[in-house]
Amino acid sequence: QEKYNSKVQRLIKLSKVRISNAEVNDIYFLERGIDRQTIQELSTCQFMEIHSNIIFQGFTGSGKTFLACAIGRQSCKQGIRTLYIRIPDLLMERDEATLQSQGIPKLLKKYSGYGLLILDEWLLNDLSNEEQHFLFELMERRHDNTSTIFCTQYRMEDWHARLGGGVHADSIMDRIVHNAVWVETGNMNMREFYSKHR
């Protein structure tokens, strides 16, 4: 038990989840319209056995990151290498990798190796052609091999345009949405809710 606990704590620390104490049991469900059973099923991490993705979609403050981090912690408890990163930070790493020999392939290998990758702020900013290509390559490597959680403000019908509207947009979406559990996070501002109830 001590060895297991040590491994879990190490995986949680290495996952860099933004909310390190997020737990499934602490998720607030009342008046949010989130299906409790769906979240409980996702918390078993069985979706990773079939390499499914999860998409948490809702406006800013609706609790997407908390939900993703809670599932991420559950993944760590299952002994699965997990990583949380914001898309702006990932693309910044991509820019830095272009200055190194074999930097992009190394970066793609790194991020394709995690059993669960949590991508926060998905599609928040416009993407350059180079960034679209990088995300396509990453999704191609992860497709049918691993699972990814996306946190986004945008509905599926907005994705194609946000991804540039071209062939890369088609290809990226094709590797994400057909094997994904879509969870809308409701209309309640959870930051405001918790600030009032502290």
SS in 3 state form for 54-108?
EEEECCCCCCHHHHHHHHHHHHHHCCCCEEEEEHHHHHHHHHHHCCCCCHHHHHH
**Which tokens hold the place of 180?**
């994904």
pLDDT at 187: 79
Residue 165 CA to residue 159 CA, distance in Å, equals 8
The string of DSSP codes covering the chain is: -HHHHHHHHHHHHHHT-SSTT--GGG---TTT---HHHHHHHHTTGGGTTT-EEEEE-STTSSHHHHHHHHHHHHHHTT--EEEEEHHHHHHHHHHHTTSTTHHHHHHHHHHS-SEEEEESTT-S---HHHHHHHHHHHHHHTTTSEEEEEESS-HHHHHHHTTSSHHHHHHHHTTGGGEEEEE--S--HHHHHHH--
pLDDT at 198: 61
**Exposure on the CB side of residue 57, measured as CA atoms within 13 A:** 16
Instruction: Give pLDDT < 50 ranges for the chain.
Output: none
pLDDT at 189: 76
End-to-end CA distance of the chain: 34
What global pTM score does this model have? 0.93
Show Cβ contacts of residue 189 under 8 Å, excluding neighbours closer than 6 positions: 59, 61, 62
pLDDT at 28: 84
Residue 116 CA to residue 17 CA, distance in Å, equals 12
pLDDT at 2: 87
pLDDT at 29: 87
pLDDT at 194: 67
